[in-house]
Amino acid sequence: MSAPTVHLDGITKRFPGVVANDDVDLTVERGTVHALLGENGAGKTTLMNVLYGLYQPTEGTVRVAGEPRTFESPRDAIDAGIGMIHQHFMLVDTMTVAENIVLGNEPRKWGGLVVDHERAREEVVELSERYGFDVDPDARVEDVSVGVQQRVEILKALYRGADVLILDEPTAVLTPQEVEDLFDVLDELTDQGKTIIFITHKLGEAMHAADDVTVLRDGENVGSVDTDDATREGLAELMVGREVILETDKDERPPGDVVLSVDDLSVTDDAGYETAADMNFDVREGEVFGIAGVDGNGQTELTEAVTGMRTPDGGRVVFDGEDVTDRSRREHIERGMAYIPEDRQEEGLVMEFDLVENSLLGNQHTEPYADTGGIDWESTRGHADDVVSEYDVRPPDVEAEAHSLSGGNQQKFVVGREFSRDPSLVVASHPTRGVDIGSIEFIHDRLLELRQEGKAVLLVSSKLDEVRQLSDRLGVVHDGEIVDVVDPDSVTEEQLGMLMAGEEPASVPQMAARVGGGAPAGGGGR
């Protein structure tokens, strides 16, 4: 076994009232891919921020290539050969690929007075060829795909001499093909002696791409294993602390009448750009209709238009036989539509309110929470207690303000409140974003229970395993259009990835977007 490139010894990081990392040891061997696996809030990113110099440890030692190091800033870490590619890229859209890569470290001429653009371009081309990266140095970042932007970020780190690369949730915004391309890149980097640490909460990625996996839970290292000896079930149990059922059990059942119809819907975003164009589909009783696609392809505007949060520019939304296109969110709720928004903090909660007050949102005009004299706070508190108890919201204190909860517990509270409305339609936008595996299992079971009860569910998610497992029909979006409606049990991940990227697979198991048949919505059929 080669000497370790990175060794973290007894790392503890405390913030006021929180122990984010608790006496964590981590050893990463040179030339390997090491996955740091755990749920949101497990301490993964905090630990890597310590290694990258963004945080200083409260206790413990960082060793790189056998030497103890103290990093006061990321610059110190970069000088020690450590680079970090963050989940949200830090690129200048209007600059070229080459300009972004050398930014802040530009080669100069004329005594350092002028940037040597020709040399910069040559250095970027040479670096790209050395690692087998297919990037155009002259392309503007705003014109290249997300996958290429990620490669630009990696090249930026390599240009600065990184020997250890930390990638934070690197697949979050990639199509399946781009994920595979990224894993090929990681293989090439490790073949050339680089060391990769990537942060993830996805079991499949850790098993597929890593040589070794370390699992964090509640800020502690609960186990490190070689992926050749690991199982998905075993890793899931380490992450959660109990056995987890990873596969959902979806009973076959015939769908009923149409609950939601989306007809020729077109929506613009806040900047005035059309982000959803001529969308058509139905959702029926006892059915989960899934929407799959890379984030940013019109899903947000679609769900906002369906739920009364945004007025569409064209087309209509019909809910339970009534045109509700121009109706308010309150009217949608009163008619029986529940909504789990993709941004729980901006749209699902008032962060300064306690959980009792937040449980009232959307219910403040309905019995038993409202009467002629105002709000019935006793009934409202009882409702909040029920949500907190049934959905295991922690801490189980309904007087706690929403901002004091972790993101996962905020999500569980929003999901519980919306499911408790006894809706005829649930619009669920990324319902399991930021929650642990055990809570994902619970939320999936609840969604399928609603389906079994004859409720209609519109499910929007960037998690392919989620929409494939739960959906009866699956609409694939690209560039604001539903390009196909497919059978989730028959379509392959590769075919889905091609559709999500706007490409046409050779053969796709199609389904009708509308009751009674018809071509797939958006693209007019294939």
What local confidence, expressed as pLDDT, does residue 502 receive? 87
Contacts of 210 by beta carbon, 8 Å cutoff, 6+ apart: 33, 34, 35, 198, 227
* Count of Cβ atoms closer than 10 Å to residue 322 Cβ: 11
Query: How far apart are the C-alpha atoms of 508 and 293, rounded to whole Å?
Result: 16
What local confidence, expressed as pLDDT, does residue 381 receive? 94
Q: How far apart are the first and last CA of the chain?
A: 53
Backbone φ and ψ of 65, nearest 5°: 55, 35
Q: Which amino acid would we find at residue 345?
A: Q
User: Which residues partner with 332 through β-bridges?
Assistant: none
Block means of pLDDT (10 residues each) for the chain, 526 residues, are 81 91 96 90 91 96 93 94 88 92 86 83 91 89 88 92 92 80 92 93 89 94 94 88 74 90 93 90 97 90 95 95 94 94 91 95 83 83 94 90 84 93 94 79 90 96 89 94 92 87 80 66 41
Closest CA to 428 of 407, 451, 406, 409: 451
What local confidence, expressed as pLDDT, does residue 516 receive? 60
Q: Is the pTM of this model over 0.85?
A: no
What local confidence, expressed as pLDDT, does residue 525 receive? 38
What local confidence, expressed as pLDDT, does residue 518 receive? 45
Tell me the two tokens of residue 269. 């975003």
* Count of Cβ atoms closer than 10 Å to residue 74 Cβ: 15
DSSP string, 354-394: BHHHHHHTTTTTSTTTEETTEE-HHHHHHHHHHHHHHTT-S
What local confidence, expressed as pLDDT, does residue 2 receive? 57
Answer yes or no: are the C-beta atoms of 320 and 312 closer than 8 Å: no
Q: How, if at all, do strands 287-292 and 473-478 pair?
A: parallel
